[in-house]
Amino acid sequence: MSITSQNADFINLEGCNSIPLTESDYYIADYFADEDEIRNRTRTSVHRSSFRHHSTVSGIQGVELQPFQHVIPSVIIYDRDSVEEKYYESLENIPTIKNGACMWINVTGVHDKILLSNISRQFKIHPLVVLDIETNEQCTKLDIIEDALFLVVKLIYPDQISRKTHVEQISFYVKENILITFQQNPSHIFDRIKNRIRQNKGRIRRSKIDYLFYSLVDTIVDQYMDVLDIANTKLETIDHQLMQHLSRDTLETVYDLKRDMLDYRRLISPLKEIVNRLQKEEETQIIQESTIIYLKDLYDHVVQVTDTIDTYREMLASFIDFYMMLNSNAMNEVVKTLTMISTIFIPLTFITGLYGMNFDNMPEIHWKHGYFVSIGLIVFITLCMIFYFKRKRWL
């Protein structure tokens, strides 16, 4: 028995007992068989509002997936009085929530296509949305799908070990009182929100699902500020290095950080239009009027992040100009020194050249003190020129 994936990776499963295909297996097989047809479909009920950018970044590394690891989603069901948190092997075991309760399903890993297929069937997620969830290099965007919201954002976080910045895609699907989040790899970014739900702190358990959606997005935006704080520390280090000495390594660091700022701008700037659109009540009935004021605060945070990125980009550009100016001044000092040396040697060369013509009718040649007089004259002229350069502050 063998299985072949879409990337033509072959897995040998000889000796394993064959298992009959379930209904979900047939569903996912038909789903991928019609994938190209779905992509080319022009008439759809999905009204897409995309803010696209280049997703391949130079200084930021993506997160690798484990392709054949089974994913078990975590489910948190909460209301004002109670909270239940469990991991469900099967989606059919997820209980039906009562009126007034909210459900948060967190899926860590988007490579489990069968799980995504089952989720799309059970919660009636459009196939195009599922394709966007599977695409790790998807752009930051907002889709409004009838009575649901679909948001794709980029999480940027530093690696404490390698000191490199990583980017991870997080997708949000909000429908009625259900929120489904899709992460590429396990992370602790939402642990603070989970603790607030468990301990009944804040407004989450007293509000509807839209406030939880806002809280999670706000957590991602706060992470942007943490990344920019690290960049600010690097800027201060570069500023100190430029004032101490010139180094090509410093210039390379400036260019690397400038590319990072450009990548951050591409990943974060679409959020301004997205958050602004979420504040419009006519777009969807999911966002409550009581949450709009928090979205305005979130919009201010996004604007602050983008303005900070622009400020850092201007600082880096000024660092490059300052580096070039210092390098030019250092070169001018070298040229000035060489010019003064050449100027000093011009009269000395004249004297030595004059007495190198070997004419017989030159009294100084036959004078026994002629050599010492000429050497003294050379030293005297040299000292006079050095004194003149110092008086003019050229030396």
| DSSP 8-state secondary structure symbol assigned to residue 208 | -
From residue 147, alpha-carbon distances to 113, 123, 210, 211, 243 in Å are 24, 12, 13, 17, 58
Q: Are 226 and 344 within one domain?
A: no
Domain C-terminal end among 273, 303, 327: 327
Co-location of 254 and 323 in the same domain: yes
Joined tokens for residue 319: 């660092």
Q: Cα 241 to chain center, whole Å? A: 25
Burial annotation 216-236 (CB, 10 A radius, 16+ → b, else e): bbbebbebbeebbeebeebbe
Residue 245 and residue 214 in contact, taking contact as beta carbons nearer than 8 Å: no
Tell me what pLDDT residue 273 has.
92
Looking at the domain assignment, is residue 52 inside a domain? no
pLDDT at 135: 84
What is the CATH classification number for the domain harbouring 375? Answer: 1.20.58.340
pLDDT in the model for residue 95: 83
Domain containing residue 362: 330-392
Question: What was the pLDDT predicted at 265?
Answer: 92
Q: What is the pLDDT of residue 382?
A: 87
pLDDT of residue 171: 94
94 burial (CB, 10 Å; 0-12 / 13-18 / 19+) is middle
Whether the model clears a pTM of 0.85, i.e. scores above it, the answer is: no
Quickly list H helices, 164-244.
191-198, 209-244
Q: Are 95 and 188 members of one domain?
A: yes
Q: Is position 47 within any domain?
A: no
| Per-residue confidence (pLDDT) for residue 214, from 0 to 100 | 94
| CATH number assigned to the domain comprising residue 306 | 3.30.460.20
The rounded distance, in Å, linking the Cα atoms of 95 and 78 is 12
Q: What is the pLDDT of residue 368?
A: 78
In the chain, how many domains are there?
A: 2
Tokens of 365: 């040649």
Which stretches of the chain drop beneath a pLDDT of 50? Answer: 1-58, 62-68
Q: Are 192 and 236 in the same domain? A: yes
